[in-house]
């Protein structure tokens, strides 16, 4: 079972949608009050499950910092900082670099020629690094990340621009009888099943995928999922997970859900 014991979050003080780097970003005006309420509610839920929450100061010219999952990838005391694909987010790196260095992490950086978007495209499960490539992160960067962290690499090709990060279309919940169990959206992988026999996954419906069902947060037996994900909710109930639903509408305007707002550290 996956566990999240400490996370990094960034208040949505400067969150807005003023550029477009994915199909979800259509210039919709963000309701700051609602976004703040949704973020605070998520913070309170995570904290109520006994998770320690650290925060980083939001920077006025970096509205994407609120999505800390994209800041890098953390394993034990090592962090590999992201090299963002789009220029609009490249400025975040220096702020996360300073935070991790100040807080005692062993900071690693990949060559600038490699694009890498951290926990958005990477999932650590036991001794494996499950990664999505083809949209934001380069395969060579993901291979290098696995080497730095000493993890076995499982690579999955992403083919749908609307599901541009692995955490928008795949959720691994744990292991049962030697197989990784969870759920996924098939069309994010071109309708194919790029997973080997070590996976046993439930295919979710488009409506759930569009509500960012895969972009959920697991804390022990608790799963925090966006509202409006009925088939996924039923699947989780069947397997006796405790479910907490949360409104994420303001962040979906930027193509993000609950998981995008936290980075396991």
- Quick one: residue 118, left, alpha or beta (phi over 0 = left, psi -120 to 50 = alpha)? left
> From CA 252, how far away is CA 186, in angstroms rounded?
20
> From CA 72, how far away is CA 212, in angstroms rounded?
21
> From CA 206, how far away is CA 195, in angstroms rounded?
19
**Residue 217: beta bridge partners?**
224
Q: Which residues are catalytic?
A: 165, 260
**Residue 81: beta bridge partners?**
72
Cα 118 to chain centroid distance, Å, stands at 8
Q: Of 125, 155, 152, 160, which Cα lies nearest the Cα of 138? A: 155
Query: Cβ of 161: how many Cβ atoms within 10 Å?
Result: 12
Q: Are 142 and 118 in contact (CB under 8 A)?
A: no
> From CA 163, how far away is CA 159, in angstroms rounded?
8
CB-based burial of residue 185 (10 Å sphere; 0-12 exposed, 13-18 middle, 19+ buried)? buried
> From CA 35, how far away is CA 31, in angstroms rounded?
6
């Amino acid at each position: 079972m996956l566990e999240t014991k400490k996370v990094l979050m960034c208040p949505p003080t400067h969150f807005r949608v003023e550029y477009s780097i994915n199909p979800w970003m259509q210039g919709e005006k963000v309701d700051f009050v609602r976004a703040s309420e949704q973020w605070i509610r998520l913070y309170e839920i995570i904290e109520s499950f006994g998770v320690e929450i650290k925060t980083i100061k939001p920077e006025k010219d970096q509205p994407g910092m609120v999505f800390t999952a994209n800041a890098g990838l953390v394993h034990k005391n090592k962090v590999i900082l992201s090299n963002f694909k789009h220029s609009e987010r490249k400025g975040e790196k220096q702020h996360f670099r300073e935070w991790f260095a100040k807080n005692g992490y062993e900071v690693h950086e990949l060559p600038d020629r490699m694009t890498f978007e951290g926990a958005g495209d990477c999932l650590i499960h036991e001794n494996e690094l499950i990664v999505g490539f083809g949209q934001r992160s380069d395969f060579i960067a993901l291979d290098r990340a696995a080497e730095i962290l000493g993890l076995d690499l499982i690579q999955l090709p992403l083919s749908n621009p609307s599901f541009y990060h692995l955490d928008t279309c795949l959720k691994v919940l744990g292991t049962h009888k030697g197989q990784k169990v969870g759920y996924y959206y098939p069309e994010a992988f071109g309708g194919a099943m790029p997973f080997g026999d070590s996976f046993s996954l439930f295919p979710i419906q488009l409506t759930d995928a569009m509500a960012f069902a895969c972009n959920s947060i697991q804390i022990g037996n608790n799963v925090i999922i966006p509202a409006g994900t009925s088939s996924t909710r039923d699947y989780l109930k069947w397997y006796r997970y405790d479910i907490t639903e949360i409104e994420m509408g303001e962040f979906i305007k930027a193509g993000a859900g609950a998981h995008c707002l936290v980075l396991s550290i």
